[in-house]
């Protein structure tokens, strides 16, 4: 290819090599991320760069760039004399069943909730509408900062109809999932929930509450939970720290 030999083509070729290396580094980082999250590295120490390069048929430069990406995500750190170690832990949140946070994370530790706001408010129009309430109804508004083993995990805002939510006012919201309290109050299991997941950047205030950097990627879950009879009873907006949670499930091709 003669064009490669002209002086003008040299920067183009160099840019192409940089692009290819960036692609390969991202691809390698994706594989390592999965291994980190599934606990594939004994004692949380990653293999040496040479070993990673051989395992992945990659250059050492690519390995270094991939580790830089994972460091940027707060998943690993370089420790002198030890190597690259896993520092961030992400917790799995099932997409297969409707569960409360303490239930889901039972094996991982203790969930505690700091109640930041609690009390009746006049329902904003869309809240009344989605909960099937008259426009001028009051709803219970509960905002909680949820922690796992003391580390901030999510900021949850819930709206509940007063006949159901009012009963929560005397309950131990600091140590109990709202789902569990609702089931105690209604005497049976909840029904289903409509959920929507999005990735959003944290605004300055949400970042401060979650002790995350401003702009940090958050996994945002909107959830409308219904009683078995179909009545909607809990409208939630949950901001999970993206570096601390993953959502997993199984999808089938046939309905």
Q: Hey, which residues between 101 and 130 contact a copy of itself (CB under 8 A)?
A: 116-117, 121-122, 124-127
Residue 226, CA distances (Å) to 98, 136, 182, 232, 233 in order: 11, 21, 11, 4, 6
Helix H or strand E segment including 120: strand 111-122
Which SS3 state, helix, strand or coil, does residue 109 take?
A: coil
**Scanning residues 125 to 184, which ones bind a copy of itself (CB under 8 A)?**
125-127, 141, 143, 157
Residue 3, CA distances (Å) to 14, 15, 126, 171 in order: 14, 15, 61, 75
**Is 210 among the residues that bind a copy of itself (CB under 8 A)?**
no
User: With respect to a copy of itself, which residue has the nearer C-beta, 143 or 167?
Assistant: 143
Residue 66, CA distances (Å) to 22, 44, 94 in order: 8, 17, 28
Binding a copy of itself (rule: CB under 8 A), the pick from 1, 5, 43, 97 is 97
- Give min distance, CB of 8 to a copy of itself, in A: 22
**Scanning residues 43 to 62, which ones bind a copy of itself (CB under 8 A)?**
55-58
**CA distance linking residue 162 with residue 179, whole number of Å:** 16
Helix H or strand E segment including 54: helix 49-55
Binding a copy of itself (rule: CB under 8 A), the pick from 61, 149, 211, 248 is 248
Binding a copy of itself (rule: CB under 8 A), the pick from 218, 232, 233, 234 is 218
User: With respect to a copy of itself, which residue has the nearer C-beta, 135 or 163?
Assistant: 135
208 secondary structure, DSSP code = H
**Is 255 among the residues that bind a copy of itself (CB under 8 A)?**
yes
Size of the site for a copy of itself (CB under 8 A): 74
- Give min distance, CB of 80 to a copy of itself, in A: 25
- Give min distance, CB of 251 to a copy of itself, in A: 4
With 0-12 / 13-18 / 19 or more C-beta atoms within 10 angstroms meaning exposed / middle / buried, residue 67 is buried
Binding a copy of itself (rule: CB under 8 A), the pick from 16, 17, 19, 108 is 19
With 0-12 / 13-18 / 19 or more C-beta atoms within 10 angstroms meaning exposed / middle / buried, residue 166 is middle
User: With respect to a copy of itself, which residue has the nearer C-beta, 6 or 155?
Assistant: 155
Region binding a copy of itself by CB under 8 A among candidate stretches 6-14, 80-88, 168-176, 210-218:
210-218
User: With respect to a copy of itself, which residue has the nearer C-beta, 21 or 147?
Assistant: 21
| Cα-Cα-Cα-Cα dihedral sign, residues 196, 199, 200, 202 | positive
- Give min distance, CB of 189 to a copy of itself, in A: 5
Residue 180, CA distances (Å) to 43, 46, 175, 187 in order: 35, 39, 11, 10
């Amino acid at each position: 290819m003669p064009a490669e030999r002209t002086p003008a083509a040299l920067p183009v070729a160099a840019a192409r090599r940089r692009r290819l290396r960036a692609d390969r580094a991202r691809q390698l980082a994706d594989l390592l991320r999965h291994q980190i999250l599934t606990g594939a590295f004994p004692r949380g120490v990653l293999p040496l760069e040479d070993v990673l390069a051989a395992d992945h048929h990659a250059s050492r430069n690519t390995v270094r760039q991939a580790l830089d990406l994972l460091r940027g995500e707060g998943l690993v750190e370089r420790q002198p004399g030890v190597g690259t170690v896993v520092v961030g832990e992400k917790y799995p949140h099932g997409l297969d069943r409707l569960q409360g946070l303490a239930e889901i994370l039972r094996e991982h530790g203790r969930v505690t909730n700091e109640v930041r706001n609690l009390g009746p408010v006049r329902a904003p129009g869309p809240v009344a509408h989605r909960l099937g309430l008259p426009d001028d109804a009051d709803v219970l508004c509960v905002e909680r900062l949820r922690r796992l083993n003391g580390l901030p995990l999510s900021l949850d805002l819930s709206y509940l109809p007063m006949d159901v939510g009012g009963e929560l006012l005397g309950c131990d919201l600091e140590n109990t999932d709202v789902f569990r309290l609702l089931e105690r109050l209604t005497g049976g299991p909840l029904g289903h929930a409509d959920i929507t997941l999005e990735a959003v950047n944290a605004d300055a205030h949400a970042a401060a509450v979650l002790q995350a950097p401003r702009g940090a990627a958050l996994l945002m879950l909107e959830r409308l939970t219904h009683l078995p009879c179909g009545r909607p009873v809990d409208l939630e907006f949950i901001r999970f720290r993206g570096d601390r949670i993953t959502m997993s499930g199984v999808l089938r091709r046939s309905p």
